[in-house]
Amino acid sequence: MNCDDIKLMISEYLDGELVKEKEAFLFTHLSACGDCREEFKIQNSIQHQTKINQREVSDRFEKKLFSTIENRNKTFAHRWITKPTPVYINYLLGIIVIAITLFSFLQTASLRNELYAFQMRYENSLQQINYQAMQMYNMMNSLPAVEIQPIKTSVIN
Ligand SMILES: [Zn+2]
């Protein structure tokens, strides 16, 4: 078994794929061979670094994912609160204002009509009263004059 085989075993060991029976053989060789010990250190540090990088990437990915979710939630809430008024609501408000104006105008008109009718009735009754007064006046004037006769008294005589 040469050093190339050992290098293969080192990478298998670091990947956790080396069978237990070969471990003793590997470490026996490493204790005797400086080159392979060096190779072991290099591969170990490379794998360690790779794992750290992977963890960092994964951490960063998670952070990014969470912040994206948070942002999306925030954006959703924000959008919900500061939602611009849709155009149709403006139209609806306009129609409501016009309807209220028209309604109050009609109410005023009908009130004015009622007032006018009342005024007409009042004037009618006033005319009737005048007419009746006139009739009474005429009737009074057409009555024959009353003859006033002196009261006969025997007291003076
Ligand atoms: Zn070796």
On whether residue 147 sits in a domain, the answer given is no
Neighbours of ion ligand 1 (CB under 5 A): 3, 6, 33, 36
**C-alpha of residue 22 to centroid of ligand 1, in Å:** 15
The number of domains in the chain is: 2
Together in a domain, 118 and 106: yes
Together in a domain, 1 and 52: yes
The mean pLDDT of the chain is 85
pLDDT of 153 reads: 66
- Number of helices (H), then strands (E), in the chain: 4, 0
On whether residue 9 sits in a domain, the answer given is yes
On whether residue 91 sits in a domain, the answer given is yes
Together in a domain, 46 and 100: no
Q: What is the domain extent for residue 15?
A: 1-83
**C-alpha of residue 29 to centroid of ligand 1, in Å:** 6
Give 98-152 pLDDT, tens digit per residue.
Answer: 999 999 999 998 899 999 999 999 999 999 999 999 988 888 888 777 777 777 6
Give 39-77 pLDDT, tens digit per residue.
Answer: 999 999 988 888 888 888 888 888 887 887 777 777 666
